Structure 1
Amino acid sequence: MLHDLTRVLGLWRSRWGWLIAGAIVSILAVLAGVALLAFAGRGVSEGLRTGALAGAAAGSLILLRPLIFLRPGARYFERLVTHAATFRALADTRVWFFRRLAERLPGGLGLRGAGDLLGRLVTDVEALDGLYLRALVPVTAALAVVLAAAAILGALDPALAAIVALPLALALLLPPLLAPGAARAAERVAEAQGGLRAAAIDPLLGIEDTLAANAEPRAAARLSAAAEVLTAAQKRLSRRSAWGGAAGTVLAQAALLGALAYGLSGGPAAVGVAVVGLFLALAAGESLSALPRAGTALAAAGAGARRLFEAADTPPPVAEPATPAAPPKGYALKVEGLHFAWNQDRDPVFTGLDMDLPEGGRLALLGPSGAGKSSLAALLLKLAAPQEGRILLGGVDIATLAHDEVRARIACLTQDARLFDDSIAANLRLAAPDASDEALWRALDRAGIGDVVRALPEGLETGCGEGGARFSGGQGRRLALARVLLSPARILILDEPAAGLDPSAERAFLETLDTATEGRSVILIAHRLLGVERPTRILRLIAGRAIPAMR
């Protein structure tokens, strides 16, 4: 757990200024409270000693006035700064985790489904706010309170300082003592939350199949069972937190009783000093009351961090070269002696594949399902790596090129190209973030969808809906084509681009492809040709090799 939490703090190093500022403001807030009660206790003590309580209180009130306003102000700024620091740190964590997932998704994360992945991206990241807000900040503030109380009482009466400070110091040990046991319970809670999300989301993702099979009762039973597992895990964690809270209360009360006993057992001077001790113990009690929860929060953050790093540390399917080669000047593509299998226990997809695509060439790659057409696209995009052979781009082995360099030169339009729940403009700019509106319209016109978009009331700002639900299959495919055309890539892979369209829409779309991709190298992956395509070469994938096909 400690190793994982240390890694989290390392991810937050760019926000350390905010994090340290929040801790400082928190310390100032609690010290203002200590000073407030210390002066109040000193006033009461002086009043008891001199017998003029009203006069002593009036004198202390002069010192209390600025503290009365300082303490709530410091509390307010503490909330502002600590939460601002936390939100920034968590935002950085989500971006880091998303980037790690993006590198590893092509090879599969091996998680239990979309629900579990969502839990790691949302709940486990949110659990990390407890590391700072409910663990580090409260513990730091409590330590400052105990040290301040010990210093003040030590100057007045060392014996009383020891009596009051000892149980308060023991309370500081509660978070590290509670964290190991709570960590095991927190891990069960995190795993149960992932199971609950999987049980809820998986049937919804396949709701048509669920309903068609009359599987709603089974899905509901699975969801109920997952909820019971989560409830039981949360109860175990709550019991540990309750025991910790009880221990913290006992120690805080021990400090109060110690100060009271010291005053009752001593003379008049001891009574006055004991009053100060009582007030300081009360001041410390407020900060120490958060420590048992800090132990639980630390455990929950540790469990969340472990699950995050478990996913983020999955080896990427293709590692970046240690020293990337210089980008090639040309974009001729050549495949030499390619041998590839997705897993060692599966049949090979390619067994000595050779092919080449000159600059500006148009290659049609045909074959039935399972022949390896989409596998070749994955290899060309460095989403997978061959076991033998090489792929040359402009004469340079792509294994020696950075991923970004390869994908800047090779773009792919897949058969299930997705439109995201955003505007048309935002969907298109995924390929070119700085593209102007004029460039977007040119891409839309080349894809044969420009007039349709112009007719929409909101034009480029029209929402696509989830999965492009706002548009028909053919329209959505043309929007995806426009996005690919907006890319500066000189090689386009069109992987079953018209799959799922009716015959007339398929023919119209393929006719559009021929003119829209003019001037670029094209690899058209398909089961068959309709006759409207104009490839310069046709290859058929058979038994892991590329065989020239007759037109």
Structure 2
Amino acid sequence: MRRDLARVLAELWRGHAGRLAGGAAVAVAAALLGLALLALAGLGVAGAGGQAALAGAGLVSGLAALALLRPLVPLRPLARYAERLLTHEATFRALADTRLWFFRRLAERLPAGLGLRRAGDLLGRLVADVEALDGLYLRALVPGAAALAAVLAIALLLGMLAPRLAAAVALPLALALLAPLALAPAAARAAAAAAASQGALRAAVVDPLTGLEDTLAANAEGRAAARLAEAGAALAAAQRRLAMRGALGGALGGLLVQAALLAALGWGLAAGPEGVAPALLALFLVVAAAETLGLMPRAGAALAAAAAAARRLFQAADQPPPVAEPAAPAPLPPRGHAIRIRDLRFAWAPDRPPVFEGLDLDVPEGARVAILGPSGSGKSTLAALLLKLAAPQGGRITLGGADLATLPAAAVRGRIACLTQDARLFDDTIAANLRLAAPEAEDAALWRALEAARVAELVRALPEGLETRCGEAGARLSGGQARRLALARALLSPAPVLILDEPAAGLDTETECEFLATLDAATAGRSVILIVHRLIGVERPTRILRLIGGRAIPATG
């Protein structure tokens, strides 16, 4: 637990150390102001009867204490306001950077699969687990620092009056401060179970909804509801165990604070008239500290939940990337984009059959190579290898004469663009979807790409034109329209090599013919790798290859 939380602070939040420390310092100041207010109130109430004892310890008299209350009263709410403002701003900034860090780590690792087969669980890690980290700072470190400062101040102040009274009061308060830490390991196990149950619940909700048509067609909604109920019951049980540990910490903390009050009363009764004023001061101080210490049981539960969330994040983010970046990247050749593959060997896993065994392939500049083959023959795998989404176990791929293994992935994808068979349109405007390929592209460039994909007239006819929203997965467009917009996005990229992986997947025969006929003119001047199951006679490739047994065999049609 400690290692995961320390990594969050040292690795993820290091850039916000100043803001985090500043917020904690203001929280400590607010806690000490609360102590000062009640301490002065205690001195004032003690009055003349306690003035001798208190003055002997170097403290102010009762009348002077009451006089000092006035300037301190407005400072307390101001300090509390500043604490909330600074601590929450620091937390929000840290969490925002954490989300970006986690997203980038996922983006590097998703092509090979994270072992997270459920989208709901992955979404939970990105959203809920990152949000749970706010408990590390807002509900654990900040109140812990304030409580520690309060206990130390009480021990110091009472120690000036009566060391035995200070020990009797400060000891139970210190135990109340440390109790959540002692209970944290057991709470961490409960929090880990609750976090896993939350992931399972999200998966039980998202998975059947993602494939709702299939779920309904198979009359499986009842089974999906049963799995949801089971996951919900498991989550409720895990949360109940976590709540019980939090309640135990709260009860223990409350008992220890009461013990401190009783210790102050007992000491005052035993000390007689001389001990009334110090005991009264101690009572006021304990009451002031109770507010801060009352947050510590929740701090223990928050610490456990943050540790469980951090472990889940690091579990996903620490998976090795499918393709390691070269330690000393080589520069891309200034010119040339011919692709050459020699003796390529690749399998997705050691226990799976090889996809390629000695594949040789040449794609000269300006060539239009059609690669045919049935499902499972390695067509899409070849695209993944060319885009550095996977790395071969043997052989060599060169781009413009440079070994792909020595080139940064971003540079390779700047030279090679791809239209995948399941290219997705996002629930955003047409312009935003197109600019995924070229963020700085002007509207004129967007229209040229749309013209090339023969979908510009459709977009012009829409009431909002380029600002028309596509809907989730392009739901507001027909299949052919969505594919043409995806093609326009690929064409907008300046990459000289274009991979078209089953570009007409899911289209009817007539729409497929029209779409493939568009490609000949739209991709003029580029090297094109067309990956399809079959040719229908409108593609006009310069070379045709079939993938058979992990090798590329020349074909005539």
Q: Give the TM bin, normalised by the shorter chain.
A: over 0.9
- Select the residue among 375, 397, 400 that pairs with 1:394: 400
Q: Structure 1: which amino acid aligns with 2:416?
A: I
Q: For 1:186-225, what aligned pairs fall within 5 Å after superposition?
A: 186-225=191-230
How many positions carry a matched residue from both structures?
548
On the 8 A contact 2:47/2:63 being kept in 1, the answer is: no
1:111 and 2:112 correspond: no
Shift of 1:50: 6.3
Q: Deviations over 1:124-167 (max 9, x none)?
A: 11111111111111100100111111122122222221111111
Name 2:57's counterpart in structure 1.
none
Name 2:6's counterpart in structure 1.
6
Shift of 1:384: 1.1
TM-score scaled to structure 2, two decimals? 0.96
> Identity of paired residues, percent?
69
- SS of the aligned residue for 1:319 comes to coil
- SS of the aligned residue for 1:122 comes to helix
Structure 2: segments with no counterpart, 5+ residues: 53-60
Q: Deviations over 1:2-23 (max 9, x none)?
A: 1111111121111112111110
Q: Structure 1: which amino acid aligns with 2:393?
A: Q
C-alpha separation in 1, matches of 2:283 and 2:48: 15
- SS of the aligned residue for 1:223 comes to helix
Shift of 1:88: 1.0
Q: Structure 1: which amino acid aligns with 2:245?
A: R
- SS of the aligned residue for 1:324 comes to coil
- Report the RMSD for the aligned CA atoms in angstroms: 1.5
Shift of 1:269: 2.6
C-alpha separation in 1, matches of 2:464 and 2:509: 31
Name 1:544's counterpart in structure 2.
550
- SS of the aligned residue for 2:425 comes to coil
Name 2:90's counterpart in structure 1.
85
Name 1:165's counterpart in structure 2.
170
Name 1:497's counterpart in structure 2.
503
Q: Deviations over 1:324-364 (max 9, x none)?
A: 11122221110111111112222221111111111111111
Name 1:153's counterpart in structure 2.
158
Q: For 1:360-371, what aligned pairs fall within 5 Å after superposition?
A: 360-371=366-377
On the 8 A contact 1:411/1:493 being kept in 2, the answer is: yes
C-alpha separation in 2, matches of 1:514 and 1:47: 100
- Select the residue among 355, 359, 375 that pairs with 1:353: 359
Q: Structure 2: which amino acid aligns with 1:190?
A: A
- SS of the aligned residue for 1:378 comes to helix
Name 1:130's counterpart in structure 2.
135
- SS of the aligned residue for 1:266 comes to helix
Between stretches 451-460 and 275-284, larger displacement belongs to: 451-460
C-alpha separation in 2, matches of 1:134 and 1:193: 21
Shift of 1:538: 1.2
Q: Structure 2: which amino acid aligns with 1:474?
A: G
Q: Structure 2: which amino acid aligns with 1:32?
A: L
Between stretches 100-109 and 453-462, larger displacement belongs to: 453-462
C-alpha separation in 2, matches of 1:19 and 1:448: 54
On the 8 A contact 1:112/1:198 being kept in 2, the answer is: no
Q: After TM superposition, what 4+ stretches of structure 1 lie above 6 angstroms from structure 2?
A: none
- Select the residue among 322, 330, 354 that pairs with 2:327: 322
- Select the residue among 410, 413, 421 that pairs with 1:415: 421
On the 8 A contact 2:51/2:62 being kept in 1, the answer is: no
Q: Deviations over 1:419-457 (max 9, x none)?
A: 011111111111111111222122112111112112212
Shift of 1:98: 0.9
Q: For 1:112-511, what aligned pairs fall within 5 Å after superposition?
A: 112-329=117-334, 330-511=336-517
Q: Structure 2: which amino acid aligns with 1:274?
A: A
- SS of the aligned residue for 1:267 comes to helix
C-alpha separation in 2, matches of 1:425 and 1:38: 64
Shift of 1:112: 4.1
- SS of the aligned residue for 2:73 comes to helix
Name 1:49's counterpart in structure 2.
50
Name 2:35's counterpart in structure 1.
34
On the 8 A contact 2:50/2:274 being kept in 1, the answer is: yes
Structure 1: segments with no counterpart, 5+ residues: none
On the 8 A contact 1:178/1:292 being kept in 2, the answer is: no
C-alpha separation in 1, matches of 2:49 and 2:464: 78
Name 2:58's counterpart in structure 1.
none
C-alpha separation in 2, matches of 1:402 and 1:372: 24
Shift of 1:47: 4.0
On the 8 A contact 2:339/2:400 being kept in 1, the answer is: yes
C-alpha separation in 2, matches of 1:497 and 1:66: 74
Q: Structure 2: which amino acid aligns with 1:44?
A: V
C-alpha separation in 1, matches of 2:49 and 2:409: 78
On the 8 A contact 2:267/2:275 being kept in 1, the answer is: yes
C-alpha separation in 2, matches of 1:74 and 1:379: 58
C-alpha separation in 1, matches of 2:531 and 2:227: 41
- SS of the aligned residue for 1:42 comes to helix
1:63 and 2:68 correspond: yes
Shift of 1:268: 2.3
- Select the residue among 82, 98, 104 that pairs with 1:99: 104
TM-score scaled to structure 1, two decimals? 0.97
C-alpha separation in 2, matches of 1:251 and 1:345: 59
On the 8 A contact 2:420/2:501 being kept in 1, the answer is: yes
- Select the residue among 500, 509, 533 that pairs with 1:527: 533
Q: Structure 1: which amino acid aligns with 2:102?
A: F
On the 8 A contact 1:165/1:255 being kept in 2, the answer is: yes
Q: Structure 1: which amino acid aligns with 2:38?
A: L
